[in-house]
Chains A and B, each alone.
Chain A
Amino acid sequence: MTRATTQRRPGLSRRLPYLLLAPAVLLELLIHIVPMLVGIWMSFVKLTKFFIANWSAAPWAGFGNYRLAVDVDNAVGAGLLKSFGVTIAFSLITLAISWGLGMAAAVALQPPFRGRSVVRTLFLVPYALPAYAGILTWNFMLQRDTGAVNHVLVDNLGLTSDRPFWLIGGNALASLITVAVWKLWPFAFLTLMAGLQSIPRDIYEAASVDGAGSIRQWRNITLPSLRPVNLVLVLVLFLWTFSDFNTPYVLFGTGQPPAGDLITFHIYNASFLTWNFGSGAAMSVLLLIFLMIVTGAYLLITGRRSRRA
């Protein structure tokens, strides 16, 4: 009896962790790994409209799709490069503003006061709204003739005599950044607010006894204490912004302007407008490689710094 249990136990306990992990591994394979591998395969074949009904018949393209994507003398490559530049600018600006707003709001709402929870809730509203509904509302507000933005700027305040366009032409990038920040900053706020809760109040009290002002306190106490939070937050914000698809897709519809030509949307168009899914997949893989390099470099640099600290 006792021997039987001791014999059975090692086998079960060896297998149990794997059994418990199996569903997660299976889902991970299905949801992430397999589509990624299919995407990589697609990038090496000529998957045009002649073959989309029967993928297996698509001829091998080797690196042809990649060569096209990086050949900046060609319209396709040049378009991709331009879109990449727009996306970098868009991501960095959106990231900086979202983080700044989130930090400012989190610090401002740290000391208790009446109505604090109401304001906190209010700030989180954009995050709680369904993305499509929110962006669509922005689309209405940014219309040239009927939009609320021009109504306020031109009709009520009389700032310009000409009604500016917001969704086409040069202003499109500013509109896109505004909407993306509106959507993103509550997440930064929420994360930083949670981070602030773990900093004990007595450090601040000690600091003010020593005569440190609020800016000094922020720089020397708040910022270093939030470092672990910020490390994750900045990276996640960057990756989300860089691969944002919904915002340009819903905001611009089919008429996306060159100034708001974000790379994910660009790739979508390259695939779906010209029915060349092989070329689109090659661009996606290049995007993945770029983001992996950025992430790797980021982890390396931040990792080294904290070891030195």
Chain B
Amino acid sequence: MGREPASGSRRRLDGTRESDVRLRSLVAAAAVSALGISLVACGGSDSGGSDGGSGGGDQTLTYWASNQGTSLDNDKEVLTPVLQKFTQETGIKVNLEVIGWNDLQTRIQTAITSGQSPDVVNIGNTWAASLQATEAFLPFDGDAMSAIGGKDKFVPTALATGGKEGTDPTSVPLYGLAYGLYYNKAMFAAAGLQPPKTWEEMVTAAQKLTIPAKKQWGMALAAGSYTENVHFAFINGAQNGADWFDAQGKPTFTSDGNVQGVLRYLDLMQKDKVANPSNAQYDNGTKSVNDFATKKVAMVINQNNADSSIVANGMKVGEYGVVPFPSPSGGKQVASHVAGINLSIFKNTKNKDAALKFVKYMTDAPTQTTLGKPFASLPVLKDAKPVFTTDAAEAAIFQEVYNKMSKPLPLVPAEDQFESTVGKAMNAMFAKIATGGTVSAEDVKTALKTAEDQVAASS
């Protein structure tokens, strides 16, 4: 080209051809690399650090724990001494990672898909049948079960959540949980209210205790959390006598009982106006519990692990009471699903014996007693007493709900899809209500039909 630095006009006059070819190949190269990135990014976001060194002989287990305490750090603090004791007793080291609920399912999926898995993992017990279907987990057959102390040590309803009926479970119960309606005793006394026994009483009380001038609301809902929302879809449907799957494992989301149950729960924000529309952005249960603990709301429906967060936020035992989450009058007395956390071993573990030892240790009475209080869990072992609260009445209520008023979530492989599709649909409906829209029974039915189609499409 030119001997002198090409000036702008020169370039346009004589350089068109050459620079154009160069330019087009440059554009093409940029495009190809950007396209490649887009497809690779779609292919799967592999969250790093999934293997924590499950290397052969040094007997180190990798353990993924779920978030049970007030924060991920709190979980770490609580578990570390317990794991150290295990190491002292057995010589087996445990590499701990605590994973938040919003990430746990994806992390487990990624681990299954890639084979880069931890040895032992906490799972939400409602996922048990779905995860069992992946065949990535060790079945607790006769030998494995006796290695962890035999199935007779567990509460039968808790153990029944471990997998599909009539199969060897691929998970065993670790922490038992149940829903309860927490209420602020002082607020109820000031308004001359009794703790509600029916849904209608609960709504009336909530309306009385919704005082805009004091910025006080009757209830707080984790209305942006799909995992919480789907539990209430299930429980409210069950109170209407409806099921979400038929005997063949096919979804029956749009049955009338389910539609009305979902609408009843949505109406707490929409029609009854007892919950702050901002709740539609509460993407986990801790946020609604914190509102209760800081006395911004009079009631919250949560699992009993709320105790640790309530107390951590400064509310004292005795300032709040608990009653079973009420059914509408004439409805079925279902106050919770059989909630809880199970423990699973990945089938491809290189440390099977050590993993079994660890599961036995975690589900033995002393460890259960140690962890029962900080994680506010119900005992999963026969003959064990709840230790999560000093309030005997509260302990008795939760024990009663767990043993007698809980219905297990459907133990079908598509259960996880039920959770995500119906839960997300509820998120969207709450968002619509919060931003000024209305959701009718017909809208609920349409949303549930969409969820049903999504589940059907991938089963």
Q: Are B38 and A273 in contact (CB under 8 A)?
A: no
* Interface residues on chain B, number (Cβ under 8 Å): 71
Bound: A242/B42 CA distance, A? 12
Bound: A99/B242 CA distance, A? 55
List 6 contacting pairs A-B, 8 Å CB cutoff, sorted by A: A39-B39, A53-B135, A168-B281, A221-B8, A274-B454, A276-B458
In-complex Cβ contact of B283 among A54, A224, A254, A299 (8 A): A254
* Contacts A36-B36, A253-B283; A307 near B20 (Cβ below 8 A): yes
In-complex Cβ contact of A284 among B26, B43, B135, B455 (8 A): B43
* Contacts A287-B38, A303-B20; A235 near B431 (Cβ below 8 A): no
Q: Are A35 and B457 in contact (CB under 8 A)?
A: no
Q: Are B109 and A255 in contact (CB under 8 A)?
A: no
> Would you list which residues of chain B between 417 and 459 have a CB under 8 Å from chain A?
417, 420-421, 424, 427-428, 431-432, 434-437, 449-451, 453-455, 457-459
Q: How far is the CB of A223 from chain B (nearest CB, A)?
A: 12
Q: Are A274 and B421 in contact (CB under 8 A)?
A: yes
Q: Is A178's CB within 8 Å of the partner chain B? A: no
Residues of chain B contacted by A54 (CB below 8 angstroms): 135
Mark A45-59 against chain B: 1 for CB-CB distance below 8 A, else 0. Answer: 000111011110000
Bound: A163/B42 CA distance, A? 36
Q: Are B42 and A287 in contact (CB under 8 A)?
A: yes
> Would you list which residues of chain A between 22 and 61 have a CB under 8 Å from chain B?
31-32, 35-36, 38-39, 42, 48-50, 52-55
> Would you list which residues of chain A between 173 and 229 have a CB under 8 Å from chain B?
198-200, 203, 221, 224-225, 228
Q: How far is the CB of B151 from chain A (nearest CB, A)?
A: 25
* Contacts A200-B7, A253-B283; A284 near B134 (Cβ below 8 A): no
* Contacts A53-B135, A253-B283; A280 near B42 (Cβ below 8 A): yes
Q: Are B431 and A169 in contact (CB under 8 A)?
A: yes
In-complex Cβ contact of A275 among B7, B109, B428 (8 A): B109
Q: How far is the CB of B209 from chain A (nearest CB, A)?
A: 19
Provide the main secondary structure of the chain B interface.
Answer: helix
Smallest CB gap from A198: residue in B: B8
Residues of chain A contacted by B449 (CB below 8 angstroms): 75
Q: How far is the CB of A236 from chain B (nearest CB, A)?
A: 5
CB within 8 Å of B: which residues of A?
31-32, 35-36, 38-39, 42, 48-50, 52-55, 68, 74-76, 79, 143-145, 163, 165, 167-171, 198-200, 203, 221, 224-225, 228, 231-232, 235-236, 239-240, 242-243, 245, 253-255, 257-258, 264, 267-269, 271-277, 279-281, 283-285, 287-288, 291-292, 295, 299, 302-303, 306-307, 309
> Would you list which residues of chain B between 247 and 266 have a CB under 8 Å from chain A?
none
In-complex Cβ contact of A288 among B35, B278, B280 (8 A): B35
Q: Is B339's CB within 8 Å of the partner chain A? A: no
CB within 8 Å of A: which residues of B?
7-9, 12, 16, 19-20, 23-24, 26-28, 30-31, 33-45, 102, 105-106, 109, 112-113, 115, 130, 133-136, 224-226, 277-278, 280-281, 283, 347, 413, 416-417, 420-421, 424, 427-428, 431-432, 434-437, 449-451, 453-455, 457-459
Residues of chain A contacted by B115 (CB below 8 angstroms): 53
Bound: A6/B115 CA distance, A? 54
Residues of chain A contacted by B35 (CB below 8 angstroms): 239, 288, 291-292, 295
